[in-house]
A = this chain, B = another copy of it.
Amino acid sequence: MEQRCQCGEPIEFEYQKGEVRKPGSVWNRYREFYGFDISESYSLGEGDTSLTSLNKLSSELGIELFAKNETTNPTWSFKDRGTFLGVQQAAKNDFSKIGTVSTGNMAVSVAAYGARFDLDTHIMVSKDIDKVKLSQIGVYGPKIYRVDGDYGDLYFRSLEVGKSKEVYFINSDDPYRVEGYKTIGFEIAEEMVPDHILIPTSSGGLFRGIVKSFMELKKSGIIQRLPEFTAVQGEGCSPIYYAYKEERDEISHVKEKNTFAKAIANPYPPSGNEVLRKLKQLDGNCVSVCDGEIISSQKELASEGIFAQPAGCVGIAAAKKLKDNERIEEGEKVVSIITGSGLKVRSGEFKGSQITDLNIDELETI
């Protein structure tokens, strides 16, 4: 394996003859699954993310575990798939103003597409948002409102104000968002129908989109059976998990939220009851994982080459739990949705690397 020529200059490989083959975008491949037209003119290239085999965790757990890596979307979270459809439809319906209620991934995503579609963009964040997140939203230049009040209530209040002020609020479980998230399911189905899909669940929009895609694939006769769907929440803010465990039909409003997985800490998920109905209908599962489990999973995922934000790791934590209590069986195929990039969160928790100070003349000591 020579890397440079003896003359000191770089070397390179010989020419080989080949051909050009163009793949279609996910929007184009699955256009038949939509009851409305999708134009790609303002797309930023959403989706077509990798389904990555997690080799170490798989052999440790005795299952086939895969990460659906949503951290490689245009604003580095799954939200872009839904935002693109929603903002496009708002523009098509002559809205000149859009908005959203979010402090994290969705705020960044809506800010980016608002800029892209050249719309007046209103982002409602919580009062105590940190500076890093504020600056990530701010790069795209939207109007930002720091709102003092309950985050769960704000969802409904924003929709009301949106109607009166002609602002299309593309919130967490907007119908177009759910349609956008279907593409995650379609892409997974191109590779396999797994036994389990583990879905970080906050508002319920992502969960609903993935479930809907597989139900539509089955209805179309393309797949014969559904995976088991597991909604995963963070302990400290898990209203869907509590209702599921207590076999209630309706979620309750969580008053104090306290989880490391901030991106999925929704105290009153607007699609919470719908998630409960789907879990009942399809014999799905709901799991809650604690901060310690999330941090371990984040490190394990990094050791497979994927750096995810804490909320993106809850599915991995759930996989371990479900394997332990045998809800996931030996050898089963499991897909965990990795919702957003670790770069988005200031990460002081990784102190794993050994750091050595060297002078250039001491390189031989490595």
Contact = CB atoms under 8 A, between A and B. Distances in A.
Contacts of A153: 360
A74 B16 contact: no
15 contacts: A3-B159, A10-B208, A14-B35, A18-B222, A23-B24, A69-B74, A72-B74, A75-B307, A112-B305, A115-B302, A116-B305, A138-B352, A138-B353, A143-B354, A341-B343
Contacts of A317: none
A217 interface: yes
Contact of A222 (B20, B24, B116, B139): B20
B150 A222 contact: no
Interface in A1-44: 1-4, 9-24, 29-36, 41-44
Interface residues of A, number: 138
A348 B138 CA distance: 10
A58 interface: no
Contacts of A137: 353
Interface string A85-115: 0000110010000010000000000001101
Contacts of A124: 363
A57 to B, nearest CB: 12
A148 B23 contact: no
A326 B194 CA distance: 55
Given A32-B19, A175-B11, A350-B138, A52 B56 contact: no
A360 B336 CA distance: 36
Contacts of A43: 50, 52
Contacts of A358: 145-148
B274 A356 contact: no
A82 B66 CA distance: 23
B44 A216 contact: no
The 10 closest A-B pairs by CB, nearest first: A45-B50, A149-B360, A23-B23, A116-B305, A18-B32, A138-B353, A18-B33, A22-B190, A343-B343, A161-B363
Interface string A169-191: 10101110011000000100111
Given A12-B179, A48-B48, 4 more contacts: A10-B178, A18-B30, A44-B306, A122-B366
